[in-house]
Amino acid sequence: MAFMIAQRAYIKLYLINKVEQRRGYGYQMLEELKEEFKPFGYVPPQSEIYRALHELVQEGVLYRTKQLKGNDPSVDFQEIVLYHFTDNGAEKAALYKKQVKTDLDRCIGMLHKAVADNFV
């Protein structure tokens, strides 16, 4: 068990949440996470976002489809990769989230102890 939760596990948790919200392509998720974490001084690395997505695909949680970005294919020919849950991906995601919640609770307890023991 790690001392604190790994960055990729943390990112995977948020990517699963984005797929649950139907925000399905990598760059969109990256930009949303940058905005969400900006107040905390954390910028999720692009490489970690794509590695985490790749792992979720390899683990059978997500699958990819390709689509043209925008509603008018004659104007914008940029292809995007969308992420969706596999048939049992939502179940796998729920189990993953439960495991990460346990780790997060442990980390929160350790952080609270460190603050109380050293800064009060």
Highest mean pLDDT among 23-32, 78-87, 94-103: 94-103
What is the predicted pLDDT for the residue at 90?
Answer: 95
pTM: 0.85
The whole-angstrom separation of Cα 114 and Cα 91 is 35
Task: Provide the CATH topology of domain 7-119.
Answer: Arc Repressor Mutant, subunit A (1.10.10)
- Domain ranges for the chain, please list them: 7-119
What is the predicted pLDDT for the residue at 24?
Answer: 75
What is the predicted pLDDT for the residue at 118?
Answer: 97
* Predicted confidence (pLDDT) per residue in 46-74, tens digit: 999 999 999 999 999 999 998 887 666 56
Q: How far is CA 78 from CA 30, 38, 62, 73, 75, in A?
A: 17, 28, 22, 9, 9
